Amino acid sequence: MSSSGRRLFALDQGFPQNILEALRASVREAELVWIGKIDPALSTVEDWELLLRLSRHDRPWDGLITTDDSMLNLPKEMVVLHQTRLTLVVTESAGHDPVTATGLLLAHLPHICKETDRTKAQVWCLRTHRKPAEDPWVYLNSWAKRNRENPNNVYQRYRLRDEELGGQGQKPG
């Protein structure tokens, strides 16, 4: 942990600097620094060497955050990660969408920072899945069932009149 009490993570090039710079003041639990700002040469080294250099750096790095899930399948990288006791955070299911990767990271970052332990290596694989939208009628039915009511009666009780909607109303599902 850095002297400010915040975790210190290096970010790979897969994260949009403009978005994270705009949110910097809101991210209280960690300082996120692009590897090119740490040292421009770091963006050209192999992943295992990046981990090694972070562990030997003057600043107390907690780990690396990357969009490159192929690192997880590289034995040398995993051995060096284990030896350096850094934390590796991988936005595994974001594909090559930097905005999705950033959102996924920000959603999980408070928990990761709380659980990061510099005495042991850790890997956090952040995943998301897409699912289709749901019809609100499903939730209305569920509420009605829990309250032992008929969903059509609930609909009729709470529905707005057509003139209140400006003619946009829908009939019950």
Is 0.75 surpassed by the pTM of this model? yes
Delineate the domains of the chain, giving CATH numbers in brackets: 7-126 (3.40.50), 136-165 (no CATH)
Spatial CA neighbour of 98 closest among 9, 13, 10, 8: 13
pLDDT tens string 92-118:
765 667 888 888 999 999 999 999 999
pLDDT tens string 7-54:
999 999 888 888 878 888 888 899 999 999 999 999 999 999 999 999
Q: Hey, which residues does 11 pair with through a beta bridge?
A: 34, 65
**Residue 25: predicted pLDDT:** 80
What stretches of the chain adopt beta strand conformation (E)? 7-11, 30-34, 63-66, 87-91, 122-126
Are 33 and 40 a contacting pair, CB within 8 Å?
A: no
Sheet holding 63-66, edge to edge: 30-34, 7-11, 63-66, 87-91, 122-126
**Residue 173: predicted pLDDT:** 55
d(CA 170, CA 155): 11
**Residue 31: predicted pLDDT:** 93
